[in-house]
Amino acid sequence: MSLDAQYFADLYAATEDPWAFRTRWYEKRKRELVMASLPRQCYQRVFEPACANGELSALLAERCAELLCQDLDPTAVQLARQRLAEVRNASVEQARLPGDW
């Protein structure tokens, strides 16, 4: 199922963190579990679709040589770019999957 772009635009119009990635214990724990489930310490390239505001992206960037993040929503892309501004091995693009692949 694919949601309309306006759905995400409406979410980000109300708040920069619609899923409370930065503040909810549950979301922090999910990120920790994702990172713990990666079998290798370092990867050459990582792709993160639907990166939202870049909270997971920042952790992924520590474990790879190159990180490509994408999101459909322009506000999410802007927020992720701000979050990763000092991370040289990360880039963030606005794209819709699978259409822009």
84 within a domain of the structure (yes/no)? yes
pLDDT of residue 3: 75
CA nearest to 51, candidates 28, 68, 35, 63? 68
Helices of type H across 19-73: 25-37, 55-61
**Segment 12-26, tens digit of pLDDT:** 898 888 898 999 999
pLDDT of residue 42: 97
62 within a domain of the structure (yes/no)? yes
5 within a domain of the structure (yes/no)? no
Assess whether pLDDT exceeds 70 at residue 1. no
74 within a domain of the structure (yes/no)? yes
| Residue 78 belongs to domain with CATH number | 3.40.50.150
97 band by pLDDT with thresholds 50, 70 and 90:
confident
59 within a domain of the structure (yes/no)? yes
Q: How many domains does the chain have?
A: 1
17 within a domain of the structure (yes/no)? no
For residue 77, give its domain range: 44-101
66 band by pLDDT with thresholds 50, 70 and 90:
very high
